C-alpha cells in the first residue's frame, strides 16, 4: 500500500534517464564532428612557394583562399615536363629532405582511400593533376570543397607536392604519381 507512491517516482526517473542519456550522447557526438566543419573567414589566404625536389628545376606558387563555396586554389608551376603531374597536399610541412619525402603521405585526416578530387570519399589532400603545356608551365584555378584553412582539416602548416608523373586517381595510396619534383609549405599569406 505504501509502495506505490515510492515506485512511481522511481519508475519516472528511470524513464527520464533512459531518454536523457541517448540525447546527451547525440549531443556529444555532434560536438565532436562540429570542429571538422570549422571554416576560416572568407578571404583568408594561405600560400605555398614551391622549391625544386632534388635538382628538378621545377618551381612555383600555390595560393589557397577561403570562399563561401570552399577553398579557391590557384597554382602556377614552371619547369615541368609536358603532361599531367600529380598535385596533392601532403601531411607535413617539412622540406628538409632533398627528395621532399619528409612531407610524408597525402593529408588524410578521415582515413579514406586515395582518389580523385571529385570523389565523395578521398584524401583531403587529393587535388588530382596539374597539366603542363609544351613550355613546361602548368596553371590551375579551381574551388575545392574538402580543403580547410582552419580546424582539424586545416592544411595550413602542411605541404604541397607536385609529382614527376600522373596521378591515376586509383592506385593506393598515392596514385602512382612518382617522385616529388617540387614542394612547398602552406603558410599564412602576406595581406
Instruction: Look up residue 141 and give its three cell numbers.
Output: 584555378
Sort strands 83-90 and 159-163 into parallel, antiparallel or unpaired: antiparallel
Q: Provide the 8-state DSSP code for 124.
A: T
CA-based Rg of the chain, rounded to a whole angstrom? Answer: 23
When asked if residue 90 is in the footprint of Zn ion (CB under 5 A), the reply is no
Binds Zn ion by CB under 5 A, chosen from 126, 144, 154, 158:
126
Q: Which stretch binds Zn ion (CB under 5 A): 23-31, 111-119, 135-143, 181-189?
A: 111-119
> Do 148 and 158 form a contact (C-beta atoms < 8 A)?
no
Instruction: Look up residue 153 and give its three cell numbers.
Output: 582539416
Give the helix ranges, DSSP H, for the chain.
4-33
161 binds, among Zn ion, Cu ion, none (CB under 5 to 8 A by kind): Cu ion
How many angstroms separate the Cα of 132 from the Cα of each of 15, 70, 113, 135? 66, 25, 26, 7
Q: Which stretch binds Zn ion (CB under 5 A): 60-68, 90-98, 110-118, 132-140?
A: 110-118
Restricting to residues 75-94, which ones interact with Cu ion according to CB under 5 A? 88
User: Rounded to the nearest whole angstrom, what is the least distance from the CB of residue 92 to Zn ion in the complex?
Assistant: 14
Residue closer to Cu ion (CB basis): 40 or 106: 106
| Catalytic entry in 85, 122, 158, 163 | 163
Residue closer to Cu ion (CB basis): 40 or 159: 159
Write out the catalytic residue numbers. 88, 90, 106, 114, 123, 126, 163, 180
Interface residues with Cu ion (CB under 5 A)?
88, 161
Amino acid at each position: 500500500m505504501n509502495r506505490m507512491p515510492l515506485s512511481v517516482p522511481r519508475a519516472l526517473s528511470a524513464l527520464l534517464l533512459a531518454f536523457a542519456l541517448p540525447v546527451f550522447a547525440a549531443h556529444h557526438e555532434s560536438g565532436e564532428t562540429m570542429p571538422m566543419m570549422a571554416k576560416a573567414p572568407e578571404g583568408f589566404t594561405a600560400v605555398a612557394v614551391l622549391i625544386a625536389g632534388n635538382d628538378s628545376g621545377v618551381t612555383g606558387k600555390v595560393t589557397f583562399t577561403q570562399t563561401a563555396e570552399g577553398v579557391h586554389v590557384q597554382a602556377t608551376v614552371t619547369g615541368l615536363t609536358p603532361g599531367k603531374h600529380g598535385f596533392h597536399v601532403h601531411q607535413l610541412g617539412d622540406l628538409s629532405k632533398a627528395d621532399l619525402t619528409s612531407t610524408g603521405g597525402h593529408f588524410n585526416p578521415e582515413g579514406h582511400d586515395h582518389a580523385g578530387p571529385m570523389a565523395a570519399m578521398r584524401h583531403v589532400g587529393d587535388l588530382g593533376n596539374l597539366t603542363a603545356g609544351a613550355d613546361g608551365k602548368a596553371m590551375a584555378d579551381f574551388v575545392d570543397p574538402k580543403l580547410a584553412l582552419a580546424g582539424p582539416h586545416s592544411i595550413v602548416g602542411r605541404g604541397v607536392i607536385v609529382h614527376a608523373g600522373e596521378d591515376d586517381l586509383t592506385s593506393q595510396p598515392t596514385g602512382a604519381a612518382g617522385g616529388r619534383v617540387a614542394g612547398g609549405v602552406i603558410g599564412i599569406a602576406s595581406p
